[in-house]
Amino acid sequence: MQAQGIDHVEFYVADADQAAAELCATFGFRIHGELDRPGQRSVLVRQGGIQILFTTATAPDHPAADYVLRHGDGLATVALVSDDPAAAFADAVARGAVPVSAEQRRFTAFGDVAHTFVEAGELLTGYSAKGAPRDRHESLELLDVIDHIAACVPVGDLGPTTAFYREVLGFDEIFEEHIVVGTQAMNSRVVQSPDGLVTVTLLEPDPTGMPGQIDDFLERHAGAGVQHLALRTDDIATVVRTLSDRGVGFLGTPVSYYDELERRLGHVGLPVEVLRELNILVDRDEVGELFQIFTHTTHPRNTFFMEIIERLGALTFGSANIKALYQAVERERLGASPSAELSH
């Protein structure tokens, strides 16, 4: 049984209503409804094919209570679509997955992050719009799907976590890279479902280098977890301008990145002047181009952030962009200006 896409992601948070309202105000999601069950309250927001569920514990024995206490607000569940969720869950457990809840078809992925199998549309039942928080701004239809999920894992966990996705879920490993920035280094692997609809980027610090941002994430998050969620669009320039007007802050990029862009890549699908103005990164693979930008973290622990990505045919990840992201997050971590260069 193979995953057929991401149905939704679930965040465990201290206040589901507040978290949902903030995402609607900044990223233009709309509230689909709310649901109260014993021990929990959930609010579902949607935009395009993206569904994000915010869940708050209303009883101390709900798993969201312990998660938030340990990690703060964070992405706790990635729900995978299956035609037969029960059979898919049983198959995953038979292949070595550690079950968390057979009733919810939930099993451990890495750290305190879990996967569950659901039928398409299953999440939408039971939610009532009555009493749901009002959106503070007009909703948008600029973001289409979840492009990928990026997670940080401790030293020594990259290989076993990659193996879990290959052996338990039947994913392919499509990308691997060792990245060095100054005195720091990290290892990156990307796993993807055979149909290309589910992609997970795994990041591990290299202990031979000095501690850096991945080490910081693991310390502040108290272990492995999702570092960022990438949302895909077909008009990244409009998204960046629109979200900036709604108060979303984006990471800056050194001016030299754009000075070298045409020499490195030649003509690209968006004018260099627009990329420079909006701090958008660009790279290409054998198939096409991709454009990316990353938000400032607003998490109290400076852990989770968002990515906006547009693909013009590109199927994988530009190597230079992964390094550029590492550099951008490192500049923010160290309080450096966007024009500052990190040594290579």
Burial 120-147 (b: 16+ CB within 10 A, else e): eeebeeebeeeebbebeeeebebbbebb
Q: Are residues 91 and 50 in the same domain?
A: yes
Q: Is residue 223 part of a domain?
A: yes
Least confident residue range of 8-12, 177-181, 310-314: 177-181
Size of the chain in residues: 344
Residue 219 CB neighbour total at 10 angstroms? 12
Edge-first strand order for the sheet with 6-12 is 30-37, 40-47, 50-57, 6-12, 74-81, 113-118, 106-110, 99-101
Q: Is residue 138 part of a domain?
A: no
Q: Which of 120, 155, 187 is the last residue of a domain?
A: 120
Q: Are residues 78 and 164 in the same domain?
A: no
Q: Is residue 200 part of a domain?
A: yes
Q: Are residues 92 and 202 in the same domain?
A: no
Q: Which helix (H) or strand (E) holds 166?
A: helix 158-167
Write down the H helix ranges in 96-157. Answer: none
Q: Are residues 157 and 114 in the same domain?
A: no
Q: Are residues 39 and 112 in the same domain?
A: yes
Q: Is residue 270 part of a domain?
A: yes
For residue 36, give Cα distances in angstroms to 63, 178, 344: 15, 45, 51
**Cα gap 222→307, rounded to integer Å:** 22
pLDDT in tens, 113-171: 999 999 988 887 777 664 444 545 678 899 999 999 999 999 999 999 999 999 999 99
Q: Is residue 131 part of a domain?
A: no
Residue 134 sits at φ, ψ, to 5 deg, of -80, 140
Q: Is residue 342 part of a domain?
A: no
pLDDT in tens, 28-38: 999 999 998 89
- pLDDT of res. 50: 97
Q: Are residues 170 and 92 in the same domain?
A: no
Q: What is the Cβ-side half-sphere exposure of residue 112, based on CA atoms within 13 angstroms?
A: 21
Q: Does 228 show up as a binding residue in the annotation?
A: yes
Q: Which of 103, 120, 137 is the last residue of a domain?
A: 120
Residue 103 CB neighbour total at 10 angstroms? 5
Q: Name the residue among 99, 110, 102 with its Cα closest to residue 76.
A: 110
Q: Name the residue among 172, 163, 229 with its Cα closest to residue 6.
A: 229
Token pair belonging to 250: 């984006």
Q: Are residues 217 and 308 in the same domain?
A: yes
Q: What is the pTM of this model?
A: 0.90
* pLDDT above 90 for 319: no
Q: Are residues 33 and 106 in the same domain?
A: yes
Q: Does 148 show up as a binding residue in the annotation?
A: yes
Q: Give me the residues paired with residue 53 across strands.
A: 10, 44
Q: How confident is the model at residue 343 (pLDDT cuts 50, 70, 90)?
A: very low
Q: What angle do CA 186, 191, 192 make, to 5 degrees?
A: 150
Q: What is the Cβ-side half-sphere exposure of residue 56, based on CA atoms within 13 angstroms?
A: 13
Q: Are residues 19 and 149 in the same domain?
A: no
Q: Are residues 97 and 246 in the same domain?
A: no
Q: Is residue 207 part of a domain?
A: yes
Q: For 288-297, what is the mean pLDDT?
A: 92
Q: Is residue 235 part of a domain?
A: yes
Q: Residue 160 is part of a domain; what is its CATH number?
A: 3.10.180.10
Q: How many domains does the chain have?
A: 2
Report helix, strand or coil for 212. coil
pLDDT in tens, 66-83: 999 999 999 999 999 999
Q: Are residues 160 and 305 in the same domain?
A: yes
- pLDDT of res. 161: 97
Q: Name the residue among 39, 199, 29, 51 with its Cα closest to residue 122.
A: 51
Q: How confident is the model at residue 103 (pLDDT cuts 50, 70, 90)?
A: confident
For residue 310, give Cα distances in angstroms to 2, 160, 307, 327: 26, 30, 10, 20
Q: Are residues 204 and 296 in the same domain?
A: yes
Q: Which domain holds residue 150?
A: 145-334
